[in-house]
Amino acid sequence: MPATTFNLADLFEAAVDEWPDRDYIVDDRTRRTFAELDERANRLAHYLQAQGVKAGDHVGIYALNRVEWVESLWAIFKIRAVWVNINYRYVEDELSYLFANADLSYLIVEEEFAERARTVAPDLPRLIIGDDYESALANQSPERDFAPRSDDDIYILFTGGTTGMPKGVVWRHADVVMALGGGIDIMTGVKLTSPDGFVEKGRVGFPIISYPLPPLMHGASQWSVMGQSFVGNKVILRGKFDPADVWKTVESEKANLVMITGDAMARPLLDYISEHAAEHDVTSLFAVVSSAVLFSQSCKEQFMELFPNIMISDSIGSSEGGANGIVRVDKDSQMKGGPTVTAARDTFVLGEDLMPVKPGEMGRLARAGNIPLRYHKDPEKSAATFMTSPDGTRYAVPGDFARLELDGT
């Protein structure tokens, strides 16, 4: 069935119906086709409903990258509940703050983290991934008999807490899919006008195999998965980052695109493959994407030396502003030393008066159009970040500074 809304679950189900037998998610334990994962997500959604989870309730996912993470994500969206991403590196104090601030009604947790979750929130209902999880799914219906969903359903992305305690950024589904999910093409600026545009893109495009390395608890990796889902592409997941395993997996799964977070991942990957290139056939790889942080010129050059035909892209953005800009580099393009990107659609550099600056001037990076509603339970921070300019344009202004160059970059 074609999607009739930009609701995330509707977009996923449209992809399932278009490519039911295509491989979808592969981790180091198992693999699922689109139809197989959708059926399991339906069962989990019914289980959550049986536990009393309702539309608008907040459900946390506390796990490493794995198939069940993705099943849980779609199950939560299917019943119009709100997922909460939980940083598995948090210690007890940080978890206590997040669990309380996020107003969790239910928790899906990996066995490795179950005891810590029990210590922090002993009374919070939970489902532990493992035998309990499988039993829960086995006893539920695989059908998609859920209530109609809406563009206005809520999605919350909690920031990583690197600049203070984590903050929940509240989006409408229809806005976040434009800002982060590919509804607006970050290179061309073309914006989808119909929900079935994702399936149309998947039909005409070449299917790729994507391998996001960062944890799914971070927005960059999570949106890599969802964006690939909507167009029928296969995604590889691994619970821990291990450079040797990454290259072995690229070879065995014939990955085309690897997503990293800057030098922290790029350097170990380069160090390993520089010494072991003869041991691996990684000719399937044609793109390396860095998201969330820009990675250094030296790493880009080393990738180009090792893989002359590879394409590299840097993108900048935030939980509050979505994708703000991108630069692509290949062997035929000039590599600039500084973090200069082509601005995405609806991205501006604003002066103190909240009006766009002139070329050559500094200002604050901002996004208009499809932007969040607010921060969860923080009206003061919301007012300071989501502002309306004198001409009536509403902007998300997270606080990053940029210079508008004479050429528009």
Say which CATH number the domain at 107 has. 3.40.50.12780
Residue type, 362: M
Tell whether 84 is covered by a domain: yes
Q: Which of 176, 201, 229 is the last residue of a domain?
A: 176
The residues near 92 (Cβ < 8 Å, ≥ 6 apart) are: 116, 119, 120
Whole-model pTM?
0.94
DSSP state of 279: G
Q: Cα–Cα distance between 94 and 86 in angstroms, integer?
A: 10
Tell whether 338 is covered by a domain: no
User: What angle in degrees, to the nearest 10, is found between the helix axes of 92-101 and 111-120?
Assistant: 70
Q: Which of 147, 176, 205 is the last residue of a domain?
A: 176
Judged on CB neighbours under 10 Å (0-12, 13-18, 19+), 243 is middle
Segments forming the whole domain that contains residue 59: 33-176
The residues near 81 (Cβ < 8 Å, ≥ 6 apart) are: 48, 53, 54, 55, 56, 57, 58, 59, 105
Place of tokens 């600056």: 357
Give the pLDDT confidence score for residue 338 in this predicted structure: 52
Give the pLDDT confidence score for residue 337 in this predicted structure: 46
The residues near 105 (Cβ < 8 Å, ≥ 6 apart) are: 52, 53, 57, 58, 59, 81, 125
Q: Cα–Cα distance between 186 and 190 in angstroms, integer?
A: 8
Instruction: Give the pLDDT confidence of 234-243 residue by residue, as tens digits.
Output: 999 999 999 9
Instruction: Give the pLDDT confidence of 99-123 residue by residue, as tens digits.
Output: 999 999 999 999 999 999 999 999 9
Tell whether 378 is covered by a domain: yes
Tell whether 189 is covered by a domain: no
Mark the ranges of the chain whose per-residue pLDDT is less than 50: 337
Mean pLDDT of the chain: 92
Q: Contacts from 357-361 at CB under 8 Å and sequence distance 24+?
A: 357/404, 358/404, 359/404, 359/405, 359/406, 359/408, 360/403, 360/404, 360/405, 360/406, 361/403, 361/404
Tell whether 43 is covered by a domain: yes
Tokens of 197: 């545009």
Specify the number of domains making up the chain.
Answer: 2
Rounded to 5 degrees, φ, ψ at 158 are -85, 130
- 131 backbone φψ class: left, alpha, beta (φ>0; ψ -120 to 50): alpha
Q: Which of 117, 152, 176 is the last residue of a domain?
A: 176
Instruction: Residue 369: give its domain's CATH number.
Output: 2.30.38.10
